[in-house]
Amino acid sequence: MSEFNNEIWFVGAEMAPLVKAGGLGDVMGSLPKVLLKSGMNVRVVIPYYKNIIPKNFIDIKEVYPAGKVNFGEIPFEFGIKTGFAMGDIPIVLVEQNHFFNREDVYGSHGGVCAYKDNLWRYAMLAHGTAYAMRILGIPLIVHTHDWSGGLVPAVIKQTFGDKKVRIEGEAEGVLNAKLGRRINVKGLRPAIVFTIHNLGYQGVYGIDDFYDIGLDFKYNSSSAYEHFGTFNGLKGGMKLSDVVTTVSPTYAGEITTPEFGFGLDGELKSLGNNGRLKGILNGIDLDYWNPKTDGLISYNLNLKEDKYNLKNYNEWKDFKLKNKKALFSALSMPIETGNNGNVLPLIGIVSRLTEEKGINEFLDALFNWNDFPFQVVILGSGRDYIEGKANYLSKIYRDKVYAMTGSYDEALSHKIYAAADIFAMPSKFEPCGLSQMIAMRYGCVIAAGDTGGLHDTVSDIMDSGVKNPSGILIDRINPDGIAWALNELYNRYMADGDEWRNLVVNSANKQFGWDDSAKVYESLYYDILK
Ligand code: ADP
């Protein structure tokens, strides 16, 4: 018999709005909140990035004696602190200044220039997590995320054993926060859920590095982290977990194919065949991303209703125009009009600037287009050549294109969502994508790649079977395909008739919150405890 707490521990590298590099941060911040609200006992474990976590967001209650781990010959001490994030989310902070007290989460330029010691940094997170369990009690479930959380399953197993906890009889309700803190159950280690947010980042290192991260050598095997002679953090994470989820149903299918599988499609296919791979759509925090109350935008949406239609469309038009004027004035951009006197549509982009996002092809579409009829605001950081291309475009089309590259700017991102008419997200693959969900919440019409979560969330105006279209989906991402899609939206915007207005209100009505998916996670947690 072991003693467990009836808790679920989320483990990951980011947690918005404390610390965020991308969509993983949004999920780590919003899903636990919803599960807590529904009565579950959740804690979030993240590294203590002292430099980047705003002090007023965390409230540290307890500091525990330091733990120790050997990385090869070198001993490292680390601290454990517990408290609350944003007032009410229980957190565990793994403190190790050498590894975590830095300027960025994964490295500069949105992680493109990754820190060379990320493997050691996230091994530290895994060891810190297991140590915190020894101090605070073992949770029933560990829900760990992405390759940076991919070392957690091995450390849990080497610490608590291979045998998974099991609740005899009905598991339902056992994770309820109101239940007594400790429960006796059969088994030795927590059940492990692993979520893949992006298969494109696998944490691949030389196999020799295996011996320096405090993992049992038995995990240097193709049934764990070894992958064709390399160390692969994501592979081991999924092989050693009880169930693997990914962040949209379409992506769950795509990653079992060679085109999207990044070399792990075979592994994922067999997980799927065994019923151990599930696609659960992410949601966004509808309270945080709310055009009616958002404190970071210049004008809030002035509507009482939660359902939008052609009757209240004018409020949306007003909302867009006012926010556009405020944004343009802040960016010193003039508002341009087209031949019929209508203000040109504003295309917004808030994105990591990496190959997969298709922004390079988007920029080429504009370069190839003689006098393109849009204004564009781009916020993003990533690859040098894409940043450079965006900056060059904004230099030669000073009045039409504004590019803010190389920086992460939460406030500006909100202002772009609020002001843009069209939100462009021409991703070549997109596990789920949160930016399009946020953009729809702020009444943007979407131009997106027809892939992964974009396929699951954007209703395509070109699909005659779709009832309430919210954008346009592009089959193949290349400059011509993107130009075609933008032109289709441009024509509808300029006509300013019911077709465009419906696109705006349909988008705003989509509202991708967490409620449905949180329920799916709840039942998954109970299923693996049985
Ligand atoms: P990914 O996780 O692949 O980066 P998602 O669409 O899932 O893409 O999530 C991106 C999130 O990061 C969104 O919340 C988006 O607003 C935010 N974001 C991306 N780049 C920036 C930036 N430079 N400044 C502010 N927010 C950004």
Domain boundaries, given as residue ranges, for the chain = 4-43+118-283+515-528, 310-509
Helix then strand then coil, % of the chain, to nearest 5: 40, 25, 40
What one-character DSSP code corresponds to residue 334?
Answer: P
Distance CA 151, CA 442 (A): 37
Which atom from ligand 1 is nearest to the alpha carbon of 404? 23
Choosing from 19, 247, 350, 359 the residue with most ligand 1 atoms within 8 A of its CB, the one to mutate for a pocket test is 350
| Single-letter code of the amino acid located at 169 | G
With 0-12 CB in 10 A as exposed, 13-18 as middle and 19+ as buried, what is 406?
middle
Question: Pick from 304, 174, 153, 317: which is nearest to 243 by CA?
Answer: 153
Confidence (pLDDT) at 2:
57
CA 311 / ligand 1 centre spacing (Å) = 32
C-beta of residue 35 within 8 angstroms of C-beta of residue 155: no
Choosing from 24, 195, 247, 352 the residue with most ligand 1 atoms within 8 A of its CB, the one to mutate for a pocket test is 352
Residue 325's φ and ψ, nearest 5 degrees, are -60, -45
Which atom from ligand 1 is nearest to the alpha carbon of 352? 20
Which atom from ligand 1 is nearest to the alpha carbon of 453? 7
Q: At what angle do helices 515-529 and 23-37 cross, to 10 degrees?
A: 80
| Single-letter code of the amino acid located at 159 | T
CA 432 / ligand 1 centre spacing (Å) = 12
Length of the chain: 530
Helix (H) or strand (E) holding 269: helix 265-273
What one-character DSSP code corresponds to residue 342?
Answer: P
Which atom from ligand 1 is nearest to the alpha carbon of 24? 2
The residue contributing the CA closest to ligand 1 atom 4 is 22
What digits encode the pLDDT tens for the residues 423-437?
Answer: 999 999 999 999 999
Residues with CB under 6 A from ligand 1: 22-23, 26, 198, 350-352, 379-381, 408-410, 413, 432-435, 438
CA 410 / ligand 1 centre spacing (Å) = 9
Distance CA 416, CA 43 (A): 32
Give the CATH H-level superfamily of domain 4-43+118-283+515-528: Glycogen Phosphorylase B; (3.40.50.2000)
The residue contributing the CA closest to ligand 1 atom 15 is 435
- Strand ranges in 170-259 using DSSP code E only, listed in sequence order: 182-185, 191-196, 204-206, 226-227, 230-232, 243-246
C-beta of residue 343 within 8 angstroms of C-beta of residue 321: yes
Question: Pick from 259, 256, 281, 257: which is nearest to 271 by CA?
Answer: 256
Instruction: Report DSSP letters for 151-185, one per residue.
Output: THHHHHHHHH-SPBPB-SS--TTTTBTTS-SEEEE
C-beta of residue 459 within 8 angstroms of C-beta of residue 473: no
Confidence (pLDDT) at 185:
74
Distance CA 81, CA 125 (A): 13
The residue contributing the CA closest to ligand 1 atom 12 is 22
First to last CA, the chain: 16
Whole-structure pTM value: 0.94
Instruction: Report DSSP letters for 39-86, one per residue.
Output: TB-EEEEEE--TTTS-GGGEEEEEEEEEEEEEETTEEEEEEEEEEEET
What one-character DSSP code corresponds to residue 344?
Answer: P
The residue contributing the CA closest to ligand 1 atom 16 is 435
**One fold for 4-43+118-283+515-528 and 310-509:** yes
The residue contributing the CA closest to ligand 1 atom 20 is 351
Which atom from ligand 1 is nearest to the alpha carbon of 197? 2
Q: Show the CA angle centred on residue 250, arms to residues 30 and 153, nearest 5°.
A: 55
Confidence (pLDDT) at 1:
43
User: What is the CATH topology of the domain spanning 310-509?
Assistant: Rossmann fold (3.40.50)
Please count the helices (runs of H) and the strands (runs of E) in the chain.
16, 21
The residue contributing the CA closest to ligand 1 atom 22 is 408
Q: Give me 359's structure tokens.
A: 């922004």
Confidence (pLDDT) at 110:
75
**Tokens 């592009």 belong to residue:** 474
What digits encode the pLDDT tens for the residues 116-132?
Answer: 999 999 999 999 999 99
Confidence (pLDDT) at 180:
59
What one-character DSSP code corresponds to residue 207?
Answer: G
Beta bridge partners of 186: 166
CA 349 / ligand 1 centre spacing (Å) = 10
HSE (side-chain half, CA atoms, 13 Å) at 126: 30
Identify the segments of the chain with pLDDT beneath 50. 1
CA 413 / ligand 1 centre spacing (Å) = 9
The residue contributing the CA closest to ligand 1 atom 17 is 22
Which atom from ligand 1 is nearest to the alpha carbon of 16? 14
Helix (H) or strand (E) holding 118: helix 118-136
Neighbours of 330 (CB within 10 A): 12
